[in-house]
Amino acid sequence: MKKLTPAVLKQRSECIRNFYTERGRMPSFSEIGGLVGLSSKSSVFKLIERLEKEQSLSRDVNGRLLPGPMSHPLRVLGSVEAGFPSPAEEELADTLSLDDLMVKNRQATFLLKVSGDSMSGVGIMPGDMVIIDRSLSPKSGDIVVAEVDGAWTMKRLKKSGENIVLVAANPNYKPIRPKNELKIAGVVTGVVRKYQ
């Protein structure tokens, strides 16, 4: 048999990962055999042993398979101006999942697409999606989604004593002082934007 190249190993690892993202669970050894083209479970067993050593796979406390170190890993590197990392540095870097990073309380969280440029001054552009947490109590300085006098807007909340003002981050918009009621739907905890 030919040598098992890293390329082949990676391809097989991706087969397994694809199964996980598509089906929401890890495949069994027999299923992995079918995915990568191995008719013996023991061959799969050896494959898994390898992938474990390479950290592209891990196991539960109970010995069950898990995708990657945990959850959906994304490499996090340094800052742009600090220089670009070498492959060696990458291996040391932390990994995380966007979901875990951005969402604390999944039950109370949802996404909202932004239209209008009232917050473009702080980098929230039309077309962006904002992550909103309903469970947080809004503090002064937070960006909130609120219903003021019948209309829904996204603005920055400013409290000074009893005085409450909603301020846009664009000088073209005037601060709003709610006359009657102010219903705050949630606090903006993050922004995501997708190019292409």
Per CB under 7 A, residues contacting DNA are 1-4, 28-31, 33, 37-48, 63-65
User: Would you tell me how many other CB atoms lie within 10 Å of the CB of residue 42?
Assistant: 10
Please tell me whether residue 34 binds a second copy under the rule CB under 8 A.
Answer: no
Distances (CA, A) of 82 to 78, 79, 119, 164: 7, 5, 29, 41
Please tell me whether residue 182 binds a second copy under the rule CB under 8 A.
Answer: no
Q: Which residues are catalytic?
A: 118, 155
Please tell me whether residue 46 binds a second copy under the rule CB under 8 A.
Answer: no
Cβ pair 20, 65 in contact under 8 A = no
Please tell me whether residue 122 binds a second copy under the rule CB under 8 A.
Answer: yes
Per the DSSP assignment, residues forming a β-bridge with 129 are 113, 192
Residue 189, token pair as written in the block: 């905890």
Site map 88..107 versus a second copy, x via CB under 8 A: --x--x---xxxxxxx--xx
By CB atoms closer than 10 A (0-12, 13-18, 19+), residue 120 is: middle
Comparing C-alpha atoms, which of 137, 64, 74, 61 is closest to residue 101? 74
CB of 56 to DNA, least distance (A): 15
Please tell me whether residue 147 binds a second copy under the rule CB under 8 A.
Answer: yes
Identify what 190 binds: a second copy, DNA, none; CB under 5 to 8 Å per kind. a second copy
CB of 164 to a second copy, least distance (A): 19
Among 1, 5, 63, 82, binds a second copy (CB under 8 A): 82
